[in-house]
Structure formats: structure tokens, C-alpha cells
Amino acid sequence: MKRNSLERHAYLKQYLRRLLRPAWLTVFGPTRPLSHRYGYDRGTPIDRFYIECFLEEHRKEVRGRVLEVKDSAYTERYGSAIERSDVLDIDRANPRATVIADLTAADSIPTDSYDCFILTQTLQFVYDLRAAIAHAHRILRPGGVLLATVPAVSRLPSENEGVSDYWRFTIPSCTLLFGEIFEPSRMKICSYGNVLTASAFLLGLAHEELSRRKVSLNDPYFPVIIAVHATK
């Protein structure tokens, strides 16, 4: 009898909580994404907004010889005093690529080559993470900086994108992975995102569709991306 009373009391509390904080997104929200392109067709994807916040914080370190993956857009946007800008890709068909290599077997890239390596939203497509991080460390000059971001939450790529998506990350996993190669005291790892933006990103909303105040709040329990700043 006592247990039934406790169960009724717990149910009543839950019911009142649902009335006070109704789950409109759950009840009325779509079961299919609003965008199949991460939100690009609606504006700026939410993960890209956070990547740009991270790079803005470290723009002074995008200098000297800089390496970026796929294209040099972030180097051009955030860099200053650029000595040389290189673009890394495994795909020889990429006309922007100046360095053709697989980051997990990048022995063709000389050691101590770069002052900054911008490695955004790439490592989830790399199965051998340890090899990729080891090469990222090796090709940096002493004092060089790795600016990396990885997804904590994201939709899977579509079949026509032609890539395999292997991983999602947390602050503890990045701390251990990067800390095997980089000196832990020379790393700073943080997260960006909150429960609203994580949900909105999966739905395909753009960051312009949310208030700046809400999109700028970071809750470590609901990250969208993890950002790694590591110095060789």
C-alpha cells in the first residue's frame, strides 16, 4: 500500500512537471529532419557556428606555415602573417589540394613543417585515430599548434557523400587520445553546445534560426562539438 502511494506521488510530480514544461518539440516536432544537408540550405550549420567561435578565439595562432584539410577557407578567414598555406587531401581530384596524403600514413609530409594545423570535423572519418594524431603532431614545428574539432553529436553522412563515419567523441576520450601524443599540460579541450542546439542540429536547423543567447550557451552534458587546442 505504501509503495502504491509513493508511485502515485512520483507519477503526479512527473505529470505536473510535464504540464509546467511541455515537450512541444517531442509532441509536435517532425520525425524527419528539416534539412538533409546539416542546415547548409537554411543558413550556417550549428556545428560550423561553434567551429568558427573556436577558431575566432585562436585566430592569433593561425600564422606562419598553415595546413588545412580540403580547402583553405579558415586559413584565409582567420589567418594573419601567413608564410605559406597548404591544403591536405587524400583525393587527387581536389584542385585546391597542395598536399596529397592520407593522414594516417602521411610520411611524405616532412617532420616539423607547420606552425598551425587546422583539422576541423575530419577525425570522425578516420578509423586509425592514433596514427592520424601522431602524424598531426609530427608535422608541426616545435611550438606549433593543432586546432582540431570533432563531433559529439551529428547525423550520419548520406550514401552519396561516399565517406565512412566511424566515431563520436567526448572530452574524456579526446583528453586520452590526444594526451597519448601531445603533452597533456600543453592541451586545452572544451565543448560547445547545449541540449537545444544539439536537438536543432540533428533536425537540420541553421544557427540563424536560434537566438544568439541560446546558441551561445555551453552545457558540458550536451556538447555538439569538442574542440582541441594542442601545442607541440
Please tell me the predicted confidence (pLDDT) of residue 1. Answer: 45
Give the Cβ contact number of residue 183 at 10 Å.
12
Q: What share of the chain is helix, strand, coil (3-state, %, to 5)?
A: 40, 20, 40
In the chain, the domains with their CATH numbers are 36-231 (3.40.50.150)
- State the burial class of residue 216 (Cβ atoms within 10 Å of its Cβ: 0-12, 13-18, 19+): middle
Cell numbers for 149: 574539432
> pLDDT tens track of the chain, all 232 residues?
445 676 677 666 655 555 555 555 555 567 888 888 998 999 999 999 999 999 999 999 999 999 999 999 999 999 999 999 999 999 999 999 999 999 999 999 999 999 999 999 999 999 999 999 999 999 999 999 999 999 999 999 988 888 999 999 999 999 999 999 999 999 999 999 999 999 999 999 899 999 999 999 999 999 999 999 999 9
Please tell me the predicted confidence (pLDDT) of residue 38. Answer: 92
